[in-house]
Amino acid sequence: MQELITTQVADRKQAFGLTETQRELLPLAFGSFLDSVATATGRGTFYNSREEQAAAVEAAHRDLFDIDRDVYTAALMLPGVTDFSRQIGVRRLLQSTRDGGILPAEFEAAAITHLVRGLPTQRMLKLFGMLRRERVNNARTRRLILSEILSADGLEFWAVKYREKLRVALTHAWGRRTTSILRSVLAKSAEDRTEQESQIVRQNVTRFVRDDVVERPNVIDKTAQCVRFVLGDETSMTLGRLAAYCEAKSDFDRGAVLPPETMEGLRSRYHNDRTSAEVLELTKSQLTTGQKIAVQRKAEQSGVEVEFDPAKYDAVRLYVYAFEMGMTDEIRKALREKAEAAAARLPVQFGRVGVLIDASQSMVGHDTQARRPIATALALRDLLAATADDAVAITSDGRSSESYELVEPSGDTSLAAGLVQLLKSEPDVVFVLSDGYENAPAGRFGETVAAVRRIGIQTPIHQFTPVFAAESQGVRTLSDSVVAMPVSKPEAIGIGLLKALIESDVERGIAALFRVVSLESRDLRRPLTTQDSSLKPYGAT
């Protein structure tokens, strides 16, 4: 993919023929789009309902897509785009036929593959469920679903953990009739199938297993057994986890190799005399990295020791955890290492930085994502402080804020006094970390910025915002003279900088977009090239 982008995209953007309408519409649409993909998560916020958020995000996607499909596709690949927006983007690209465009069809095909493989498994399957509900079932959609499922390294694990979701996705891709036929055919051994039945398996299963996977020993037989299990046939299971699933119905201890949620389902149905704590103790070795941090409170209450390594989690997740379970020296160490590593990758360093943290009640966020906004702000505080020789960080109520420590949100939003306090310390630059909602009183921050400019203080002031505002179809700015840049995590502040660039120079911004995407393509789980056989099915519309 990288070669495809760098060789063909560069030529396009050097002679990118923007119409006057595109020149006028792209900056606003692109800015709103970046705001949404960097901050919106499909859930409610302190000020917006889930429905309001969803409608605004859909509008942002639609507007940029209608202006330039290639720019839209590339922007989805930026580091820091939320899984929620990637799901929306793939769905939009698949449900519409590509017509024209300057970049080759292979670019979009590779991008779709990149986006899908970058999703966690449960979110990939949720995407496939979205495609089913919206009846997106063209040839490339079916091929995408079948290739990504049937070629998966973890298909056996998926089969016992996501059995129903896999059944729904496969049935959508094959259709009910073919699915029913396949279940009957796969119940027979390969030796007992007729030539026609073997052809059915080759046509619907074998040909969708990628070339790099199909060469592995017995992979087709293993894939067929997983499919048979997913479709409801549990007879003669020989694969370890599939056999354990069947046997765990009568022998509780056989569930040790199963995912905890799968074993919990079997416990509630077949082993009512066992407790959830026993399930956790039995299956804790099967917990994913994400689950290990998520079950800490339950594990503590159950008296089960589940170890997790803070170094394996991003800074925002660690802060959310610390709010719930308490800050520890081990977590502080991980936060420090992450901030310093992220700062070292930034192309800018400062002598003295001022950081103003909005610590008002709204930064707690919605119940479904409790403390995500303040956690993001604190992770940014650490990163920005790590970029400087000296840093001064304070909260909106004037308290000093030390790096790698918690700040509990409360009260109204009043940022003006904090800005004045920071400017008195004569920093090289001031960063304001806020959701953009000011109410004590509204507009005072902007008035203060205007006043300090009039008296000759020209210290740069930048705003980073982790919350999408549906009513603004973007992130809210605290002042007309301060650009509000979206951010979901410290490593993704480049999205905000790209937004500022494209608003000032649209063609330079588009060129920068494709440079970033070219670099991002090197970080795929499995790098893609134009010769990748898995791209071929997706190229057709």
Element (H, E) at 461: strand 461-465
In-domain check, residue 229: no
- Does the pLDDT of residue 167 top 50, yes or no? yes
- Does the pLDDT of residue 168 top 90, yes or no? yes
* Count of domains observed in the chain: 3
pLDDT of residue 522: 56
- Does the pLDDT of residue 434 top 70, yes or no? yes
Segment among 15-24, 277-286, 447-456 with least mean pLDDT: 15-24
Q: Which of the listed residues 472, 488, 504 is the one where a domain comes to its end?
A: 488
Task: Summarize the confidence of residues 288-306 as an average pLDDT.
Answer: 91
Segment among 322-336, 420-434, 472-486, 511-525 with least mean pLDDT: 511-525
Torsion of CA 52, 53, 54, 56, to 10 degrees: 90
> Which distant-in-sequence residues (6+ apart) come within 8 Å of 263 by Cβ?
248, 255, 279, 282, 283
277/365 same-domain check: no
289/340 same-domain check: no
pLDDT of residue 129: 96
499/484 same-domain check: no
Domain that holds residue 16: 1-119+494-535
Token output for 119: 């999703």
pLDDT tens for residues 23-54?
778 888 888 899 898 888 878 888 788 888 88
Q: Report the sign of the C-alpha dihedral through residues 393, 43, 165, 267, in that order.
A: positive
Q: How far is CA 477 from CA 74, 217, 246, 469, 474, in A?
A: 26, 57, 56, 10, 9
484/500 same-domain check: no
**Closest to 221 (Cα-Cα) out of 186, 247, 246:** 186
- Does the pLDDT of residue 526 top 70, yes or no? no
Q: Identify the CATH number of the domain in which residue 409 sits.
A: 3.40.50
CA distance 444 to 416: 6
pLDDT of residue 367: 81
337/303 same-domain check: no
457/506 same-domain check: no
pTM: 0.84
Report angle CA 343, 345, 346 to the nearest 5 degrees. Answer: 70
457/515 same-domain check: no
In-domain check, residue 475: yes
407/481 same-domain check: yes
Q: Residues 493, 464: contact at Cβ < 8 Å? A: yes
pLDDT tens for residues 391-431?
999 998 889 999 999 999 988 778 899 999 999 999 999 99
In-domain check, residue 201: no
pLDDT of residue 519: 66
Segment among 349-358, 372-381, 463-472 with least mean pLDDT: 463-472
- Does the pLDDT of residue 10 top 50, yes or no? no
401/353 same-domain check: yes
In-domain check, residue 514: yes
- The 3-class secondary structure across 406-460, one letter per residue, is CCCCCCCCCCHHHHHHHHHCCCCEEEEECCCCCCCCCCHHHHHHHHHHHCCCCCC
Instruction: Give the residue, 38 or 249, on which the prediction is more confident.
Output: 249
Q: Which of the listed residues 310, 337, 363 is the one where a domain comes to its end?
A: 310
351/464 same-domain check: yes
